[in-house]
Amino acid sequence: MRDFEVLAPAGDLEIFKSVIDAGADAVYFGGKHFSARAYANNFDYEESKEALKYAHLHNKKAYLTLNTLIKNKEFDDDLYNYIRFYYENGLDGIIVQDIGLIKYIREVFPDLNVHGSTQLAVCNSYGVSLFEKLGVTRIVPARELSLEEIRTIYDNTKIELEVFVHGALCYCYSGDCLMSSLIGGRSGNRGRCAQPCRLEYDVYNGKNRLNSRGGYVLSLKDLCGINDLDKLYRSGVTSLKIEGRMKKKQYACNVVNIYRRYVDLLLNNLSKGIDSYEVSDKDKNLLLDLGNRCGFTNSYYYGKKDRMVTFESPSHENKDVSYCFEEMKIPVKCKFTARINEPIELVVAKDDIKVNLKGVNCEIASNKPVNISDIDKRLNKTGNTSFYFDEIEHDTDNNIFIPLGDVNRLRKEALDLLEEKILYPFKRNISDIISTQNIQSVDNKDSKEISDLIISIQNTYQLDVLSANKSLKNVDLVISLADIKDFIDIERIRKMSVFNNIFVEFPTVIRKESKELLEQNVEIIRKYDGYIVSSYDGMEFIRENKLKGVVISGSYIYTFNNNSIRAIRELGIDYNIAPYELNYKELSHRNNSNSIITIYGKYPMMITNNCINKNCLKCDKTQKSLTLKDKKGHSFLVRNLCNVCYNVIYNENVTYLLDERKKLSDIGFNHFVMNFVDEDKDLISSVINDYYDSFGDNMINIEYKYTKGHFKRGVE
C-alpha cells in the first residue's frame, strides 16, 4: 500500500513536538533564514536540532522550508553553513522555490531530498517532469489543480506528490503573486506577504459596480479536504499537507489528529477492500470551530471555482478548543541482572537496537537488602527522556545489596546510548559534500541574436499601431497567446519591414485550455523565431517538442541569482527577463550578459484561477477588462483571459525605466522590453519616442502616472 503521509505545520518547537504527538507522519518548519513565513517564530539551530531528534526518535520525518528566492549575494558561506547544519543533523527533505537553489543543493548536498515548493506554480506533468530530471524527489503542485489533473501527473511521472488538504488558500497562483510586493514592498517571494488579498475592493465594469455581495472579492474560503481523502489517495497523492505555520498549537494539533484518524480509517478500509469512509458531524464541526473563513471549500479538487470567495469578512474565525494530546513517549524493553559477586547489568532495547551496560559488583546484604520495587522505582525515572519502559525483566539473586545511585546512572547512560544508536543512521558524513568553488559561474556562450528592443503586444490593434510607426527600427515583436485567441498570420507580419524576430509568448499558466491550445498548434508555433515562457511547464513543453529558435524565460521564471541563470541556461533558455523585485544594486550583482530588462509596462501583480467577473456575475466567456478599486482610491486593471481561463491583475501605475537606460547598460543590460497592455495609439507612440531619446541630454517629459517599481527600493 502506498504511503499516505499526514504532513503538519509547526511554527515553534512546542508545536513541532505536539503535532507529532497528535499523529503527524512528518512536520515542516522554518529556520531563521529563507523561510516563506518570515514573521513566524521559526527555529534557531538548537531548536532545530531538538526538533529533528524528536522526529527521528519517533520514526517521523522533518522537512525544512527554504522556499524563498535567493539574492545573488546570499549564495555565500552563510547559506552553505546553514544548509550544512541541517544536512549533518539528518534533515529528511528541504522545500525549495528557487531553481538556482535546487541546482545548488543537488550539486553540493547530493543525497539531501529536495521538494519543489507550490511557489514553483507547476500545473502539469511537463513541469513536474522537468524537476524530476533535476533530481527533485517530491513536488507540491499548484493548489488550483483538480484531482483529475493530479492523477494525470501521477500517471506520467514517478515523483512524489504533496497536496494541500486543509487551511488557507491564496487567491493568486502561489509564486506568481507580486501584489504585496508592488503595493507595499513586502514580498511573498521573500516570505513577507502582507495579504492585500484579504482587504476590501470594489469591482467596476465602466461605471457599473459589480460586487453587490460584498467587498472581499479576493479572499478565498479555507480549504478542507477531510471528505476527499479516498479521492486524493486514488489520485496518487503521497503527502497530505496541512497549512498553518502561523497558527496556534490547539489548531495545528487538533486538525492533525482529525486527519490522522480518518487517514487510518481509510487505509484500514482499503486493506479490507473498502474504498470509502464517513466523517462524523462532530469532527466536521470541530474543524469549523478550530478556524474557518466563512466556511470551507474543496472546489478546486473538482475543477470548480464557484462558492470559493468569502465576500464577507475574511477573518479566520475560531472558537476555544481544548488541547488534550500528551507527549508521546517511546516504549522500550529492559532487563536488569544482579548476581552476587558479579557486576550488575542493564540491557535496554527498542526493536532490534540494543544497549548493554555493566555497573558495580552486586554484594550480599549485611543489613537491609535491596528489593525489586526499589530497583524498579529507579529504573522508571525516565521522565526527562523520550522513553519509558513498557516491560522490565529481572534476573536477580535474593538478599542482595547494590548502590541505588548506580542503578540511576546505568539507566541514564543506557538510554542516552540507545538514543544515540537510534539517531545514528540519520547523521551524515560531512566528507560527502563536494567543493562549492565556482558553483555560481555562468556559461557565457553565445546565444542567438535578438534585437536591442523587444515589444510585447496584447491585441491586433497594437500591431497595427506599431507597424505604422515610422520611428521603429530593428525591433523584435512578442505576440501573447493568452490574449490573442487566433494565431496572427505570421507571414503577414514578416512582410512588415519593422520587425526582425517574431516571438510567441506562452500563457503563464498552462492547464486544460492553454495546454490544448499549445499541443494542437505545435506546427504553427514552430514557425515563430522564438518563444517566451513564464512557467516551468512551458519550458519543458519546448524541450519535449524540440522547438527551435530563441527561448526567453519570462519574469515569473525568477532569476534572482546566477545559479538560477545557470540552471535555466542548461535547460535551453537563451535569454532571461530580469525579475521585477531586484533593485539596481542587486541587479548589478547578477550576470546580465544574457538578460533582458523591462523598461516599460504595467507589471502583472496576480495571475488568478478564480475569475472576478464570474464571481461577481457569471461566466459569460467574454474577454473583458474590469477595474478593481481599493478603499484608498487606487485602481487596478483586471483582464479575464477566457482563451486560457485565468485573470491577470495589473499594478496601478506603469513602470517606467527608459530614463535609466544608461545605468542599466553600465551593468550589462543590452536588451530591453516594453509591454503594452491597454495603451492607446498616442501613448504607444510617446513611449517609443522616449526610448529613442533616452540617451539624450534632455530630461524626458513623462506626462502619465508612472513608478520606478523596485528599481530603487527592492525587497527585503
Determine the length of the chain: 716
Residues in the chain with pLDDT values less than 70: 36-40, 323-324, 431-447, 485-487, 694-704
Residue 324 has a pLDDT of 67
Q: Domains of the chain by range and CATH? A: 5-169+222-311 (3.20.20.70), 330-426 (no CATH), 453-602+656-707 (3.20.20.70)
Burial of 629 (0-12, 13-18, 19+ CB in 10 A): middle
In sequence order, what are the residues at sequence separation of 6 or more whose Cβ sits closer than 8 angstroms to the Cβ of residue 466? 455, 457, 472, 475, 477, 498, 684
Q: Which residues pair with 662 in a beta bridge?
A: none
pTM to 2 decimal places: 0.94
DSSP-based three-state secondary structure for 640: strand
Residue 370 has a pLDDT of 94
Output the CA angle 217-221-226, nearest 5 degrees.
160
Q: Which residue has the cell 472576478?
A: 612
In sequence order, what are the residues at sequence separation of 6 or more whose Cβ sits closer than 8 angstroms to the Cβ of residue 714? 581, 582, 583, 585, 586
Residue 77 has a pLDDT of 84
DSSP-based three-state secondary structure for 71: coil
pLDDT, tens digit, for every residue of 356-397?
A: 999 999 999 998 999 999 999 999 999 889 999 999 999 999
DSSP-based three-state secondary structure for 408: helix
Q: Element (H or E) spanning 372, and its range?
A: helix 372-379
Report how far residue 611's alpha carbon sits from residue 622's, in angstroms, rounded to the nearest whole number: 12
DSSP-based three-state secondary structure for 638: strand
Report how far residue 142's alpha carbon sits from residue 177's, in angstroms, rounded to the nearest whole number: 13
